[in-house]
Amino acid sequence: TGVELIVDDTPGVVRISCYEHEKRFIASTTLKRLLKDGRINPFYIEKFYNDIVNWFDEIVLEKWKEALTILNIPMMNPEVVHYIGRFFFRYSYGQNLRNHSIEVAKVAEGIASEMGEDALLAKKAWLLHDIGKVIAQNGESHTAVGADALRKLGMHEIIINAAESHHFDVPM
């Protein structure tokens, strides 16, 4: 699965170690299913793992649909919304990235409406402002990586700027 299982002397405790959130989720879900089933052998490990990997894509799809529905945003580029679904598996400063992005998008929509600006564009920009966190590799700037990805996907310049400037790396 690409994770490290650490079994120590503490009864009933297994630690799963991996920098990739999605791999940790898949491994922990597979392990829970194996323990519940009780048949822990190479055949069932592979079977449950493959089932969870296939199910994972459904979860990502469900989570991006939920986010767009909550915010009343029409369908966007499928590659962009796939990243939104992956927000569900990430945490930043103890807060779920999906919840954070939805909250920020709602606030941006309210501010834009009050100012007579494009509320839908503001909502999209701030929903996607942290997209680099699900794309960047260790050590890369999530603001730069996110902006580059959004640029390649043909997103509006304001959306790109929200991703690139929200830590004041470039002017807003």
126-164 pLDDT, tens digit each: 999 999 888 888 788 888 988 999 999 999 999 999 999
> Which letter, b or e, does each residue of 132-148 get, where b requires 16 or more Cβ atoms within 10 Å of its Cβ?
bbbebeeeeebbbbbbb
Q: pLDDT: is 122 or 82 the higher one?
A: 122
| Residues paired with 6 in a beta bridge | 15
* Residue 148 confidence (pLDDT): 92
* Residue 39 confidence (pLDDT): 86
Q: Taking the model in full, what pTM does it have? A: 0.77
Q: pLDDT: is 9 or 42 the higher one?
A: 42
* Residue 41 confidence (pLDDT): 86
64-69: average pLDDT: 88
Query: Nearest 5°: CA angle at 33, between 28 and 38?
Result: 125
> Which letter, b or e, does each residue of 107-117 get, where b requires 16 or more Cβ atoms within 10 Å of its Cβ?
ebbeebeeeee
What percent of the chain stands above pLDDT 90? 35
Distances from the Cα of 92 to the Cα of 2, 113, 148, angstroms: 22, 28, 21
